[in-house]
Amino acid sequence: MTIEMVNGISAEVFKTVLYVAGPPLIIGLVIGLMVGLFQTVTQIQEFTLTFVPKMVGVFACLFILMPWMADKIVTFTANLITNIPSYIR
């Protein structure tokens, strides 16, 4: 296994992680910013007001995108497993 192969595998790992984890994190960020802006404007300082909408938004995102996320992870894993003989050489 060469350095280039390790770099290639590492790049694929990071790309897959960003593809899979990115949408729920972005949804949580956007909802958090909107709720924070709402709290600032209305001066309501309630912890559950920030937690519950983010939780619902992230779970909805995960529920909607789970088939796509699972496909990305399974494709990455299948490619990694099928290329094991070339990594050994």
Reduced 3-state DSSP string for 46-72: CHHHHHHHHHHHHHHHHHHHHHHHHHH
> Which domain covers residue 31, as residue numbers?
3-88
- pTM confidence score: 0.80
Q: Which residue has the tokens 């958090």?
A: 32
State the pLDDT confidence band at 33, using cuts at 50, 70 and 90: very high
Indicate if the pLDDT at residue 13 is higher than 90: yes
Predicted pLDDT at 87: 81
Split at pLDDT 50, 70, 90, the class of 49 is confident
Number of domains present in the structure of the chain = 1
